[in-house]
Structure 1
Amino acid sequence: MIWFILVGVVVILEMFTGTFYLLMIGIGLAAGGVTALVGASDGAQLVVAAIVGSIATYGLRRSKWGRTARREVARDPNVNLDIGQTLVVDAWSGNAARTTYRGAQWDVELEHGARAQPGVFVIREVRGSRLIVANSDK
């Protein structure tokens, strides 16, 4: 019964963390409990719990749910709130321009494939003090 009480405790703790790793440990603990119900020795129960928990944790880590999505920070709107905002460029000099955005002068550069024409642009990326923009549909 101790194994299954531990499973309950680990599942409750999992609800506070928001990851699936404690659930994988809970699967290992449940396997130890099943081994105990079969009548195996204490050592066998511990070994089964450790092996099953390790395999489940490793499997989770290799799955798509165990990997953190790595996004390029310069293009991540969750990191930089300017991404997705619009600005107006009056004149281009090649693929570069200078324009006012949020009350300051910024260097603006065209994203690959964008057209250098005056108008409204959408910020796609921020590289230092340069805004990388694309044509807007507006």
Structure 2
Amino acid sequence: MEESTLWWVLAGVAVAVELVTGTFYLLLLALGMAAGAVAAHLGAGVAVQLVCAALVGGGAVVAWNHAKKRRPGDPSARAERSVNLDVGETIVIDQWNSDGTATVKYRGATWTAIHRPGVTPSTGRHRVAELVGNRLLVDPD
């Protein structure tokens, strides 16, 4: 069997396994295996084929990991109005406690409200941004 055929078969197996498992990284490794196949088609030796496959596949994984870390994370499901109907509602805070919480009446019950880290608490109208446990995370309105 030709060396390039072996590389293409390995790349196909990696893609098939990726389809079953759902890991994107196997597609990147399959890209490296395709680079090894191209190197074999160009007449490179086995060592050069392995280096090409490792550099392209490993480089793609490192680049994807780096790009993934630089992207902002998806918003929390707790901050989605479609998940939690309290998000977006308005409350009035009369006084903040020394521990950074406030006790508010909301929907006929007593709730604890908290503000975002680094935000100076203020009294008045606030909008519910998300639920954190059983606390309302609020932003000034």
* Equivalent position to 1:29, from 33, 36, 41: 33
Q: CA RMSD in A?
A: 3.5
Equivalent position to 2:105, from 90, 96, 100? 100
8 Å CA contact retained: 2:96, 2:121: no
- Runs of 5+ consecutive residues of structure 1 not aligned to the other structure: none
Superposition TM-score, scaled by structure 2 size = 0.62
Assess, with a 3 A threshold, how the Cα gap between structure 1 residues 110 and 46 changes in structure 2: closer, same or farther: closer
The 1:21/1:113 distance shift into structure 2, 3 A limit, reads same
Once the two structures are superposed, residues 41-81 of structure 1 have per-residue CA deviations (whole angstroms, 9 ceiling, x without a partner) of 33332222122211222222222xx336447xxxx541464
* Structure 2 counterparts to residues 59-138 of structure 1, below 5 A: 59-63=63-67, 66-67=68-69, 69-70=72-73, 76-79=75-78, 81=84, 84-89=87-92, 92-93=94-95, 97-101=102-106, 104-109=109-114, 112=119, 116-117=123-124, 121-126=126-131, 130-134=135-139
- The gaps in structure 2 that reach 5 residues or longer are none
Identity of aligned residues (%): 33
Cα distance in 2, alignment partners of residues 2 and 43 from structure 1: 15
What TM-score comes out, normalization by structure 1 length? 0.63
Q: 1:33, CA displacement in angstroms?
A: 0.9
1:7 maps to amino acid: A
Retained in 2: the 8 A contact 1:77–1:84?
no
Look up the match of 1:2.
6
4+ runs deviating over 6 angstroms: none
Equivalent residue letter for 2:60: A
Take 1:86 and 1:132, find their aligned partners in 2: how far apart are those partners?
A: 11
CA shift, 1:30, in A, is 0.8
Provide, for residues 94-113 of structure 1, a one-character-per-residue CA deviation record: whole Å limited to 9, x for no partner: 68753334664113356758
